[in-house]
Structure 1
Amino acid sequence: MKKTLKFLGAIAAVAIVVTIFFTINKRKYNAVGYEKESTQAIISETNNSYAILSSETNNLYVMLADEYLDDDDLSELYSEEDILTRLSKLNDDLNKNFDYYELSFQALQSLEYYNLDDDFVKVYNRKGDKIQNQAIKIDGRSHYVTSLNTVQVNKRFFDSYLASIEKGEAFNDDDYILSTSENIPVLLGYNYTPYYNIGDTLKLNYLGSDMTFYIKGFLSENLEFIKDNETISMDNYICVPSFKIASASQQTDSEQDLVFKIRYYLQKNRGFIQYGINNDIKKIKQEINDLANKYDLAYTVLNTTYNISPNKT
């Protein structure tokens, strides 16, 4: 791993931010904040052989993973010089040089008492566990946290799998670039239509930061895609564009903004690279290794083939 800097004074400020937002649950997800898959479990897959899951070559992907495995790794990363710039430039290269598909299920979270349909609430595991109306205090104020079904996708993914609109407008190119002064456009699944109108705004928490989202449209009814053997029905989801942050100055950001942006780009950089059955995956792995070295970051390509396809039924 490429972590050469020691903890500096900034880590104390980071610890304050993390304490504020990570107050309820110390499992792989938290009531408010950063939801990261168990990368240790993911990395262990690299000892396995590739498992081809489909004969349709245009549906085959390999996945990127970082090697920042726990809170200590992440805290040290936050203190590194120019880390935000390096993560952002890596993402630019991924989107420029590969058929790179950004897909994340990081939950948007309501901090008010939630009384809409339970089907909108995210289920985290096979036991049916949810974060729904969990009472916490932030800065002395009481909140009720509910995690909502959410998907974040870049333009390449959206155009390939989700570009079917019931009403309103689909994302355009400008929606994939965010300045600090903008609200964030979202598309809601079809089952949200009785509750909201186009142009309505939602105040939700995203990776530990409170943000305002405006409803640009609604996805078509029964819109689905398949990831491996799991069918993802978008009817109960909020769809967010995986945007590029226009302002990424590490010197002028507040500590909270910086932590959000680092988490956000870590999320964007755990995407999928599409390849053809005859392509040399070893070449992709080498190119990713070269990029990781270029930006002094710890990234790898998992030795597992994933299948992502539209549901044609």
Structure 2
Amino acid sequence: MNIIHYNSVTSYNCIIARASLVAIIFILLQLIMIITAQSSMLTNRKKPISNSTIKSPGGNLVLANKQAAPKFSYVVWDEQGMVCILAKFEATLTITFYTPSGAHQLIEKIPIDAKAKGRCDYLLDEKPVLDVSWIGGFTFRIIFEKVNDGEKWGVNSIDLLYNTADSLFRGSVQGGKKVARTKEGSLGMFTTMMGKSYFCPSPPIINLYESKTGKPSVVVRLTNVHLQAFQIEMGKFAPISRCSQVSFGSGVAAPLYVSLEQDDSVPVVVGTLTVIVSILVIVGYAVYKSWVFKPVDYDTMI
């Protein structure tokens, strides 16, 4: 008959269980710190500014409350803080410039952080203007107008202001500020009834010509275009007047990385909660096994 005592084995298992418990608690504390940091990042993301400084007719800067506008829009507010121009679009610009070796092309996309400003339809002789500007000295300008005695509205011209002296135009000869614009009467496709917004997934390519030489210098490809420059109510787009061009899907989608930025908090929180629940279950089981079950002595085994 052999007598085997399991006290030492059981004690060893308890030590292992308690060490595992300490390790799990440490991991849990690390996860809590990560969650806190991520929550702080999500909270501190930039939010739309509700106020802005605008220039009054007397030339003084005054603070006005801005009317809310759709997300991911280029917006112009009037002096009372009311939305007077709304625009959503993506644009790819192919700019031709010249170096000693000949013609070259620069392909530039309007970035997500481009800034919008402009002018509302204050006076009869003034046309609404939207300027979208970004780093590199670029300004993409849309000038709107009323047509058919005010029954309709449209786009009078599209301009691109750029500077070939910028480092992006490497080797450019006679570098300097340039203005390229559409030919008069070439933008009839944007004509829309008053009280409607213009929407087009894929309008025709637009050619711009250098203002001084008249040579074609910029090709504009617009996608997911949604515009309105008159009779905007409640800071929202009016019902759409859709162009004849057809593209897959509808509406103007948010830029990809902004969508990801807005939505990534959901899977992070859900995944983290799942991990925490799993760890709590493991911790509970370890505590239960270590402190509830007492060591058992098996006196003899044959």
Higher helix residue share: 1
* TM surpasses 0.5: no
Q: Give TM-score, length-normalised by structure 2.
A: 0.26
Higher strand residue share: 2
Higher relative contact order (CA 8 A, sep 6+): 1
